């Protein structure tokens, strides 16, 4: 109750002055996790996976406590009986070992790869970094509303659950440095496609909720990146392989993290953007900021958009920003569109890994055919392949599964 009162008071204080002023001062209010804990009781505890994701933005003097301190609160772990060997607190372990062991144990316990959405794909990694990128760094704060695979919104792997995940250790020699241990994660699945082309850089958002490219190839501060992607990457496709309307596929791709719909619960529920009532009207209002006549859009849509109630351009920008900021737009070899991590490149493999609600991007370490190993880049969205249809096609063609080794 006290948590709810405090949150309400701080939220009111936060929103009374201009929002931008508060953002510039870095002023915030009580984290949502506190409200979630306050709303729970013994019958409805938060799961350990919910706690881990919601607590990412908290600080801990010892980074290992970003996991250990939560075990006494989790639905599966608070009594200790459901703890696996790799989840028992052990301060003799290094931070990387604690995070690695916990990740493997939670994958095998839940037979799901949702924990891989905790990997920070937004912070640039130094070139030549040899760390095993599939191991989440729980000491880095990431807002849950930006993720694709958590909370679960999609079902890319259909009914295929994770089989026993294994870790293989290898000693890697580095020039002018001590050898390091590289951890390879072994998972089953199949290659969905390959990235054919990407946007010039990842996307970012300006103060007016307009999208722009973040680096070389686009004048700093110039908006209109979505229009550039539409005209230069999407329109030339001519059609879409899943028979979806091309513009609708584009709109749903750039808003793919969904929105929170009001319901009877305290926090609402995450829903796909296709269920957002004013999505098309908001898109039209946002688009007309840069192209009032909408000349680049299909003729059948121009009159339709102009007939709609005037939408909220900034709200569409907000939805697109959640999905696109820090990510790169791509087109696959077979003509699908999607969003991937900021360092997605042409030639990267797109995988369906069993137990994953979203596809994952893997960078092959050398010329391989078929691809069997590579560097984990992160979660992705591929429009038309998020509902299990890729698994159905894989079964129908009677193709064998693959065992991937991921670092």
pLDDT band, residue 75 (cuts 50/70/90) = confident
Residue 71, pLDDT score:
87
Residue 221, pLDDT score:
46
Residue 182, pLDDT score:
87
User: Which residue has better confidence, 403 or 205?
Assistant: 403
Most confident of 43-57, 59-73, 292-306, 329-343: 329-343
Residue 14, pLDDT score:
39
Contact 99, 138 (CB under 8 A): yes
Which tens digits make up the pLDDT trace of 136-166?
A: 999 888 888 899 999 999 999 999 999 889 9
Beta bridge partners of 352: 190
What's the average model confidence in pLDDT over 54-76?
A: 88
57: pLDDT strictly greater than 70 = yes
Which tens digits make up the pLDDT trace of 78-120?
A: 766 555 666 788 999 999 999 999 999 999 989 999 999 999 9
Q: What is the pTM of this model?
A: 0.89
What's the average model confidence in pLDDT over 360-389?
A: 92
Residue 309, pLDDT score:
81
Q: Mean pLDDT score of the chain, rounded to an integer?
A: 85
Report the percentage of the chain scoring pLDDT > 70. 81
| Lowest pLDDT segment from 203-217, 237-251, 269-283 | 203-217
Which tens digits make up the pLDDT trace of 265-310?
A: 656 688 999 999 999 999 999 999 889 999 999 998 999 998 888 8
Residue 181, pLDDT score:
83
pLDDT band, residue 18 (cuts 50/70/90) = very low
pLDDT band, residue 17 (cuts 50/70/90) = very low
pLDDT band, residue 170 (cuts 50/70/90) = confident
What's the average model confidence in pLDDT over 250-271?
A: 84
pLDDT band, residue 43 (cuts 50/70/90) = low
| Lowest pLDDT segment from 8-17, 25-34, 209-218, 302-311 | 8-17
Nearest to 222 by CA among 230, 207, 208, 212: 212
Residue 265, pLDDT score:
61
Residue 28, pLDDT score:
44
């Amino acid at each position: 109750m006290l948590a709810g009162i405090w949150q309400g008071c701080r939220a009111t204080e936060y929103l009374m002055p201009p929002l931008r002023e508060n953002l510039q001062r870095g002023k915030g209010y009580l984290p949502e996790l506190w409200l979630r804990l306050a709303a729970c009781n013994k019958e409805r505890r938060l799961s350990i996976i919910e706690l881990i994701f919601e607590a990412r933005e908290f600080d801990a003097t010892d980074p290992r406590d970003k996991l250990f301190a939560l075990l006494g609160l989790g639905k599966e772990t608070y009594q200790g009986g459901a703890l696996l060997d790799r989840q028992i607190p052990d301060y003799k372990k290094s931070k990387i070992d604690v995070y690695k062991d916990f990740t493997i144990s939670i994958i095998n316990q839940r037979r799901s790869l949702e924990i891989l959405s905790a990997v920070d794909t937004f912070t640039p990694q130094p070139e030549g970094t040899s760390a095993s990128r599939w191991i989440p760094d729980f000491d880095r704060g990431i807002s849950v509303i930006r993720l694709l695979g958590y909370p679960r919104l999609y079902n890319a792997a259909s009914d295929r659950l994770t089989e026993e995940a294994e870790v293989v250790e290898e000693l890697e020699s580095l020039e002018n440095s001590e050898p390091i241990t590289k951890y390879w994660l072994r998972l089953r699945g199949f290659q969905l496609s390959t990235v054919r082309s990407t946007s010039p850089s990842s996307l970012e958002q300006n103060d007016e909720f307009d999208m722009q490219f973040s680096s070389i190839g686009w004048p700093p501060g110039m908006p209109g990146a979505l229009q550039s992607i539409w005209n230069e990457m999407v329109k030339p496709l001519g059609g879409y392989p899943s028979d979806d309307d091309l513009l609708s596929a584009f709109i749903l791709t750039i808003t793919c993290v969904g929105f929170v719909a009001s319901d009877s619960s305290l926090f609402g529920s995450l829903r796909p953007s296709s269920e957002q009532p004013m999505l098309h009207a908001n898109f039209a209002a946002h688009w007309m900021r840069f192209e009032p006549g909408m000349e680049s859009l299909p003729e059948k849509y121009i009159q339709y958009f102009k007939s709609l109630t005037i939408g909220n351009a900034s709200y569409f920008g907000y939805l697109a920003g959640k999905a696109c900021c820090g990510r790169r737009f791509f087109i696959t070899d077979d003509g699908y569109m999607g969003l991937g991590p900021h360092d997605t490149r042409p030639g990267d493999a797109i995988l369906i890994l069993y137990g994953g609600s979203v596809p994952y991007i893997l960078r092959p370490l050398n010329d391989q055919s078929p691809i069997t190993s590579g560097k984990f880049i992160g979660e992705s969205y591929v429009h038309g392949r998020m509902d299990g249809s890729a698994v159905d096609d894989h079964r129908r063609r009677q193709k064998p599964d693959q065992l991937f080794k991921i670092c």
